[in-house]
A and B are shown apart, each in its own frame.
Chain A
Amino acid sequence: MTPLNRQQIAWRVGQDFENGWLVNLGLGMPVNCSDYVRDGREVVIQSENGVIGAGPLASANAADSDLVDAGSRKITIAPGGTVIDSAWSFAMIRGGHIDVTVLGAFEVADNGDLANWDNRIPDKGPLVGGAMDLAAAAKEVWVMMEHTTRKGAPRLLRACTLPLTAPSCVTRIYTDLAVISRDAEGFLVHEIIAGLSRADLQARTGAALRFADDCGVLAAPDIAEKD
């Protein structure tokens, strides 16, 4: 079996964006998802610092330190885009206008609890940013992450062990091994990478998995990992 790399996970998430959606992408892995929207579909990327219609990264000669996303990356504005202030940007988020937010995570519980802001590094200060507002108020909260920690411990659990970002909010999880939805009954697997059995996936997961009747193969095109 070959787990998806991070770009491939981002590709898989991007395939599920519907035309016309307003999408917020978390810092780190999720910002790459906008590169993989299906042909013929157009989505509007919201960055919590107020950029509505965030475009691709700016080329070196067009980079403008006043035109950045929430991750301080120098970006462009897509056609039809604009910039609003932070209070309005979070009114947009809190008001339920975001169709989906894609966030990274440390842990997700089978009741939808999300832990993605505090991994308890000793003496380091807190960094919450907009994660709690997004998790609490986006119409859909999708998580993309590696299925297990670097040490092999499961990240999909019965209950989160790290501080919560929001209770009962996650609706889908895209990992390097599987695509999983989450409903009132817990985790439901829709796709698994080739060569990994259902039992093997369950062994890497800290909560019971159900498998969709049409559970299929998780596959992505060859995409090189970026730095």
Chain B
Amino acid sequence: MAIDKRVSSAAEAVADIGEGAVVMISGFGGAGFANSLVLALRDRGVGGLTLVVNSATHPLSQTHTLIEAGLVRKVICSAARGRGAELSPFEQLYKAGKIELVCLPQGTFAESIRAGGAGIPAYYTPAGFGTDLGAGKEVRRFNGRDYVLEEAIKADVAFVRGDVADRFGNLTFRHAQKNFGPAMATAAKLTIAEVRVSQSEPIAPERIELPGVFVNRVVTA
């Protein structure tokens, strides 16, 4: 049977995501949020989730809907500060001690995901050394400079937003949509891509930005 990773809806794409799943969500600065998949997961209603998402509070991301619905146990991110003085849904739960937070330098966040998909269990980085975010982490000196040990991050599921997908799951991205998508797609057991256009015809090899081998399901949204 021919390979065809396209599924008919976001609801179908997330139908087997279970309680307690670790879910990566791509998107940064307003570009590349896989919001249809996030909303479908919210509607599915499974709880105890760990989110691996750059920002827990970005106003253009629907990530907050999962948090507001009480489905999230833990967030791993580089930003969890809502805009303005009012507390965001994340901040309210965090203040109440009802949600766990791991805050990482954004480069560490990205590299830990990359490492997770690349078979590297841990690595040393200069970012965070001598700061609150490096506190308690193993330090090692290389060539006269101190580095902290950071561990890889893997996930059960990754949500990625792309532009065009073909039936093989090959993806292109528009501009800054790419951000964490390629790395997250490598680091999850199941990667679901939400795209503007999906087509049976293969994307030209030189146009493909993420090979379909890292993508399991494609949904148009």
> Which A residues fall within an 8 A CB radius of B?
48-51, 64-72, 77, 83-87, 89-91, 93-94, 118, 123-133, 136-137, 163-167
Contact = CB atoms under 8 A, between A and B. Distances in A.
B82 A85 contact: no
Contacts of A123: 87, 91, 95
A126 B175 contact: no
Interface stretch (B1-9, B15-23, B179-187): B179-187
Contacts of B173: 83
B200 interface: no
Contacts of B88: 125
B90 interface: yes
Interface in B126-180: 126-133, 163, 173-180
Contacts of B46: none
A130 B81 CA distance: 14
Given A49-B176, A68-B29, A125-B94, A130 B87 contact: no
B216 interface: no
6 contacts: A85-B181, A94-B111, A94-B126, A128-B103, A130-B106, A136-B127
Given A89-B110, A167-B130, 15 more contacts: A49-B31, A49-B176, A65-B60, A66-B177, A71-B29, A72-B30, A83-B178, A85-B180, A126-B103, A128-B78, A132-B105, A132-B131, A137-B126, A163-B131, A166-B129
Contact of B107 (A66, A84, A93, A126): A93
Given A68-B31, A68-B176, A164 B131 contact: yes
- Majority-rule SS of B interface residues: loop
A195 B105 CA distance: 42
B56 interface: yes
Contact of B81 (A68, A124, A136): A124
Contacts, number: 156
- Majority-rule SS of A interface residues: loop
B156 to A, nearest CB: 20
B191 interface: no
Nearest to B87: A123
Contacts of B182: 85, 87
Given A71-B29, A123-B87, A126-B80, A64 B175 contact: yes
Nearest to A64: B175
A177 B206 CA distance: 52
B212 interface: no
A37 B47 CA distance: 51
